[in-house]
Amino acid sequence: MIRFRRGLLLAAGVLPLVAVGVVVGVSTPAVAAANPGPGFPAHYAAPYAEMWNPPSSLMAAYNATGNKYYTLAFIISQGVCNASINGDTAITDAGWNNAINSLRAVGGDVIASFGGASGNELGVSCPSVSTLQAQYKRVIDQLNLTRIDLDIEGAPLNDTAANDRRNQALANLQQQYAAAGRTLAVHYTLPVNPTGLESNSIALLNNAKSRGLNVSVVNIMTMDYGPAMDMGAAAIQAANALHTQLGQIWNTKTSAQLWATEGNTPMIGVNDTAAEVFTTGNAQSLENFAAANGIQLLAFWALGRDNQSSSGTPQSNYQFTNIFRAIASGGTGPSGGTPIHGFGGKCVDVAAANSANGTAIQLFTCNGTNAQQWTHTGTTFRALGKCMDVTSAGTANGTTVQLWDCNGTNAQNWTQGANGRLVNSGSGKCLDATGPSSADGTRLQIWTCAGSANQSWTL
pLDDT digits (tens, 9 = 90+) for 229-259: 999 999 999 999 999 999 999 999 999 999 9
Domains plus CATH for the chain?
Answer: 17-329 (3.20.20.80), 343-455 (2.80.10.50)
Are residues 124 and 162 in contact, defined by beta-carbon separation less than 8 angstroms?
yes
pLDDT digits (tens, 9 = 90+) for 224-235: 999 999 999 999
What is the C-alpha separation between 53 and 56, in angstroms, rounded?
Answer: 8
What is the C-alpha separation between 8 and 4, in angstroms, rounded?
Answer: 12
What is the C-alpha separation between 129 and 118, in angstroms, rounded?
Answer: 22
Give the chain's mean pLDDT: 90
| pLDDT tier at 29, thresholds 50, 70, 90 | low
Other Cβ atoms less than 10 A from the Cβ of 185: the count is 18
Does residue 86 carry a pLDDT above 70?
Answer: yes
Does residue 94 carry a pLDDT above 90?
Answer: yes
Give me the pLDDT at residue 268, please: 98
Going through 228-273 in order, the beta strands assigned E by DSSP cover 262-266, 269-270
- Report CA dihedral (47, 51, 54, 59) to the nearest 10 degrees: 30
Does residue 327 carry a pLDDT above 60?
Answer: yes
pLDDT digits (tens, 9 = 90+) for 135-156: 999 999 999 999 999 999 999 9
User: Which residue from 374, 372, 424, 380 is spatially nearest to 406, judged by alpha carbons?
Assistant: 380
User: CA-based angle 383:386:390, to the nearest 5?
Assistant: 100
pLDDT digits (tens, 9 = 90+) for 382-395: 888 788 999 999 99
What's the residue count for the chain?
Answer: 459
Are residues 300 and 286 in contact, defined by beta-carbon separation less than 8 angstroms?
no
- With a CB cutoff of 8 Å and minimum separation 6, the contacts of 235 are 222, 264, 266, 278, 282, 286
Does residue 25 carry a pLDDT above 70?
Answer: no
Cα→Cα distances 436→374, 421, 447, Å: 22, 15, 11
User: Which residue from 113, 92, 117 is spatially nearest to 18, judged by alpha carbons?
Assistant: 117
Does residue 19 carry a pLDDT above 50?
Answer: no
Does residue 24 carry a pLDDT above 50?
Answer: no
How large is the average pLDDT for residues 303-321?
96
pLDDT digits (tens, 9 = 90+) for 103-116: 999 999 999 999 99
How large is the average pLDDT for residues 191-215?
98
Q: Which residues of 325-348 are buried (b: 16+ CB within 10 A; e: fewer)?
A: bbbbbeeebbeebebbbbbbebbb
Cα→Cα distances 170→75, 130, 224, 272, Å: 15, 10, 29, 32
Can you give the pTM of this predicted structure? 0.71
The percentage of the chain sitting over the pLDDT mark of 90, rounded to a whole number, equals 80
Q: Determine phi and psi for 42, rounding to 5 degrees.
A: -65, -30
